[in-house]
Amino acid sequence: MKNLQEDIRTGNFKNAYLLYGEEAYLRIQYKEKLIHALNPNDDTMNFSRYEGKGIEVREMIDLCETMPFFADYRVVLVENSGFFKNKCDELADYMKSLPDYLRIVFVEEEVDKRSCMYKAVKSCGSAVEFAKQDEKTLMRWAAGILAREGRKITTRDMELFLTRTGTDMGNIRMELEKLITYTMGQDVVTREDIEEICTARIENRIFDMVRAVTEKKQKKALDLYNDLLTLREPPMRILFLLSKQFRQMCLAKKMSGEGAAQSEIASRLGIPSFAVRNILTCARAYSVEELEGAEEDFVEAEEAVKTGRLQDVLSVELLIVKYSTERNK
């Protein structure tokens, strides 16, 4: 990414760029920065955009062969083409000797690094991956945006914020805008501000329900379940996410018992480390054997629904009741 930033800053551009990876927000941000740097005056005569998997390669190559009209570059943007997942030998061969005036930018979510196209771009240009960012990077980034708007936030409240927003940078940016507007005139963003204005993802609502279950707050858990149903969340998706949470609790409890650090558990589960703390807190309510039994119950419930032996709404309700009932001492 640093090389791309340097190219944009200096104006020394390569013939070809490939921007790819899971983090859509960064892909879009750097696509826009690069295209603006290559075509600062929004010159439509020397800029072309192709999108989708039905691109006519020969037609695109013919356009690339057309010299720019009173401009330094002919800029071609190609998005979501599938060229880096499927064979595209004709374009890969063309990439071996691109005209000096051509600047071609590919933007893809997924690529196969073994593909001819990936190797072709690497040989004549630059391939930049935008991976999902780790929690520390996200916290610094979000805190930096708040700081530029004159807001401070504690680490614990930032963790709460990210717990509600998830790790998608586009969603984080949108929720930050809401938070900044809501706290106009304040110096500090508080937990109450976050809970009042930031939209919780469905996964967070599920976790709130799981927390209520583990705390044996049965009425609250059932109320949260009914709230999800009111939001038209399908019962089978709720069952899937509930099962996922209990599976994570089971794995985290096992790893913690084996002496694994919180950061290691987070890495193996693919979740932020502050989320591990919440999961382990919930897992304390059960033994490993009980959590393994819960996983089996979730599988059996899904099978019962699929075979028509149990109605979907009732299947989830029965599981909530079972695992939120106080055990006999």
148-158 residue pLDDT tens: 999 999 999 99
In this predicted structure, what is the pLDDT of residue 327?
Answer: 67
Note every long-range contact of 212-219, with CB atoms under 8 Å and residues 24 or more positions apart, other chains counting.
212/324, 213/320, 213/323, 213/324, 214/282, 214/283, 214/284, 214/285, 214/286, 214/323, 214/324, 215/285, 216/285, 216/324, 216/325, 216/326, 217/324, 218/320, 218/321, 218/324, 218/325
Q: Where are the domains of the chain?
A: 2-129, 135-197, 202-324
The CATH number of domain 2-129 is 2.40.50.140: no
The mean pLDDT value for 181-206 works out to: 87
Residue 152 pairs in a beta bridge with 188
CA-nearest of 131, 134, 196 to 161 is: 196
Residue 71 pLDDT more than 70?
yes
Q: What is the DSSP string of 44-104?
A: STTEEEEESTT--HHHHHHHHTSPPSSSS-EEEEEES--TTTS--HHHHHHGGG--TTEEE
CATH placement of domain 135-197: 1.10.8.60
Length of the chain: 329
106-147 residue pLDDT tens: 999 989 999 999 999 999 999 999 988 888 899 999 999 999
Residue 128: which H helix or E strand, with range?
A: strand 125-129
In the 8-state DSSP scheme, what is residue 271? S
CATH architecture for residues 202-324:
Up-down Bundle (1.20)
Domains 2-129 and 202-324 share a fold: no
CA-nearest of 129, 126, 141, 130 to 3 is: 126
Residue 105: which H helix or E strand, with range?
A: strand 102-108
**Residue 329's pLDDT band (boundaries 50, 70, 90)?**
very low
CA-nearest of 35, 28, 29 to 7 is: 35
